[in-house]
Amino acid sequence: MLTAFARAFKTPDLRKKLLFTLGIIVVYRLGTHIPIPGVDYKNVQECVDQASGSQGPLGMINMFSGGALLQITVFALGIMPYITASIILQLLTVVIPRLEALKKEGQAGTAKITQYTRYLTIALAILQGTGLVATARSGALFSGCTVGGQIVPDQAIFTTVVMVITMTAGTAAVMWLGELITDRGIGNGMSILMFISIAATFPSALWAIKEEGSLADGWIEFGTVMLVGFVMIGLVVFVEQAQRRIPVQYAKRMIGRRSYGGTSTYIPLKVNQAGIIPVIFASSLLYIPALVVQFSNSTSGWATWINKNLADTGAAPHIILYFFLIVFFAFFYVAITFNPEEVADNMKKYGGFIPGIRAGRPTAEYLSYVLNRITWPGSLYLGLISLVPTMALAGFGANQNFPFGGTSILIIVGVGLETVKQIESQLQQRNYEGFLR
C-alpha cells in the first residue's frame, strides 16, 4: 500500500491531481470555520459546546456540513442543497418527458441537466439559508441554550439579507470547488467534499465517547467502538461490492465480409442498487415533523407526541418507521432508476440475449424478477446498518451522530472505494500495476 502511494506521487500527472484535490479540501475546511457577518461568534461557540451530543433534528444536516451548520459559518449549508437538487432532478427525469429526452441526448443533455441542478441548488440555498437565519434569530437553533445574549444581536432586515446572501454564496462556492475536483482532481468532487465533511466529525465524536466512558477512563468504550467500526467497514465493503452478474450473449452478424458480435458480457446488478439514497429519503421524512415542532416552539399535545415518538431516535415508533421507510424507498428508488423494459429493448436492438431467456418481454420480466430478489437483502442491509446509531445510543451512551453508523459509514466507504478505483486505474495506465495488490 505504501509503495502504491509512493508510485502515485512519483507520477507527475497523478501527483498534480492529488495535490490539487488536497488544496481544494484545505480551502473547503477553512470556509467551514469562517463565521458569517451578523453572528455573535462567542455565543455560538458556547451554545455549540452545550448542545454537543444533543443536536436534535438538525444533527444529520450538521454532519453533512462538517459541523459548520450549527456554527453558522460561510459554508454552513455545505453540500446539502446540491444533494437535494440532484435527487429532485433525478426523480423529475422519470416524471417530466423533457428531462427524460435531455438525459438520452448524451453529453449535451447531461450538461443541460447539470445547469438546471445548479439553478435549483441556488434556490434551495436561499430557502434553507433564510430558514437557518430565522431559526437562529428565534433562539430555536439551540434549544435550551443558557448563554446570555443573542446569537444574532442585530435584528435588522439588512443584516438578515446579508447573512442569507453570504450563505448562498458559500453554497455556490462549495459547488464550484466540487466541480473543480471533478475536472482537475481525483474522484467525484461533490462526493469527496461530502466524504471530508463527515470524516471531519469523527475525531471529536470518538473523543467524546472516550471522555464520557466510565470503564478504565473510557478507553474500553473507545476500543470497543473502534472494533465495531472496523467490523462494520468490512461488512459494508463486502455488501457494496457484491453484485449479481446476469450473462448476456450477442449473436454474430455478417456485415459485408466482416463478422460482428459473438461476444459474451454481463449485466452487473448490485445488491445495494439504491446506494445511500433510501437512507437520506427516510431520514429527511422523519426529520420534517421534528423540525416543525422545533421551529414552532409548541408545547401542545401533538408536539409532545412527536417529540416523544418521532424526534427521539431511541423510541420504538421512530425505529420501526425508520426501518420500514428505508425498505420502501430502496424498492421505490430502484424502480425509478432501473428500467428492465428499456434494458431488454436495448439488448434486443443490438442482438443480445440472456441464455435460456427469450428476447423482449420475457427478458424484461426476468430482469425485474432478479432485481426484486436482490433488492430485498440490500434494503434490509441498509435498514440494519442505519439502526447502528440507535444501538450505540443504548450501549455506549453515544449521541445520535455515532461516527460508525448509518449514513456516515455508507458514504465514507462508498466514496473511498470509488476514489481508490480511480487512482488504481490511473496507476495501471502508467505502471501496469494497480493501487491494491
Tens-place pLDDT, residues 340-353: 888 888 888 877 88
- Banded model confidence at residue 394, pLDDT cuts 50, 70, 90: low
What confidence score (pLDDT) does residue 397 get?
A: 53
Amino acid making up residue 323: F
Mean pLDDT of 101-109: 81
Range of weakest confidence among 42-56, 77-91, 313-327: 42-56
For 1-200+432-437, CATH gives: 1.10.3370.10
CB atoms within 10 A of CB 358: 12
> Over 50: is that where the pLDDT of 148 sits?
yes
Range of weakest confidence among 30-39, 233-242, 256-265: 256-265
Q: Which of 20-29, 147-156, 211-220 has the highest mean pLDDT?
A: 20-29
User: Who has greater pLDDT, 312 or 219?
Assistant: 219
| Farthest CA pair distance, the chain | 86
User: Who has greater pLDDT, 158 or 297?
Assistant: 158
- Banded model confidence at residue 408, pLDDT cuts 50, 70, 90: confident
Residues 350-377: tens digit of each pLDDT: 778 888 888 888 888 898 999 999 999 9
Mean pLDDT of 86-93: 83
Mean pLDDT of 3-26: 82
User: Who has greater pLDDT, 51 or 283?
Assistant: 283
- Residue 93: alpha-carbon gap to chain centroid: 20
What confidence score (pLDDT) does residue 215 get?
A: 67
End-to-end CA distance of the chain: 8
Mean pLDDT of 148-154: 70
Distances (CA, A) of 239 to 77, 125, 255, 329: 31, 34, 43, 18
Q: Which of 140-144, 292-296, 309-313, 316-320 has the highest mean pLDDT?
A: 316-320
Which region holds residue 397: left if phi is over 0, alpha if psi is between -120 and 50, else beta?
left
- C-alpha grid cell, residue 408: 456516515
- Banded model confidence at residue 432, pLDDT cuts 50, 70, 90: low
Mean pLDDT of 119-145: 81
Which superfamily, per CATH, for 215-404? SecY subunit domain (1.10.3370.10)
What confidence score (pLDDT) does residue 54 get?
A: 47
Residues 240-254: tens digit of each pLDDT: 888 888 888 877 666
Q: Which of 182, 179, 176, 174 is nearest to 17 (CA)?
A: 182
Rounded to the nearest 5°, which phi and psi values hold at 253?
A: -130, 135
Q: Are 397 and 195 in contact (CB under 8 A)?
A: no
Range of weakest confidence among 133-147, 237-251, 365-379, 416-430: 133-147
Q: Are 197 and 177 in contact (CB under 8 A)?
A: no
* Per-position DSSP letters for 178-202, written without gaps between them: HHHHHHHSSS-HHHHHHHHHHHTTH
- Banded model confidence at residue 398, pLDDT cuts 50, 70, 90: low
- C-alpha grid cell, residue 399: 449521541
Q: Are 62 and 69 in contact (CB under 8 A)?
A: yes
User: Who has greater pLDDT, 423 or 147?
Assistant: 423
- The fraction of the chain above a pLDDT of 90, given in percent, is 7
Q: Which of 93, 284, 94, 85 is nearest to 172 (CA)?
A: 85
Same fold, 1-200+432-437 and 215-404: yes
> Over 80: is that where the pLDDT of 399 sits?
no
What distance in Å separates the CA atoms of residue 81 and residue 174, rounded to the nearest whole number?
10
Rounded to the nearest 5°, which phi and psi values hold at 137?
A: -65, -35
Alpha helices in 107-264 (DSSP H): 107-138, 157-184, 189-199, 202-212, 219-241
Sequence length of the chain is 437
Residues 253-304: tens digit of each pLDDT: 666 666 665 678 888 888 888 888 888 788 777 777 777 776 666 667 777 7
The angle at the Cα of 300, spanning 294 to 304, to the nearest 5 degrees, equals 65
Range of weakest confidence among 140-144, 205-209, 273-277, 384-388: 140-144
H or E stretch at 6:
helix 2-10
What distance in Å separates the CA atoms of residue 322 and residue 261, rounded to the nearest whole number?
48
Domain ranges of the chain: 1-200+432-437, 215-404
What confidence score (pLDDT) does residue 268 get?
A: 87
Mean pLDDT of 93-111: 82
> Over 90: is that where the pLDDT of 122 sits?
yes
Q: Are 305 and 311 in contact (CB under 8 A)?
A: no
Mean pLDDT of 120-128: 91
H or E stretch at 269:
strand 264-270
Mean pLDDT of 70-79: 83
Secondary structure class of 141 (helix, strand, coil): coil
What confidence score (pLDDT) does residue 24 get?
A: 92
DSSP state of 416: H
The number of helices, as runs of H, and strands, as runs of E, in the chain is 18, 5
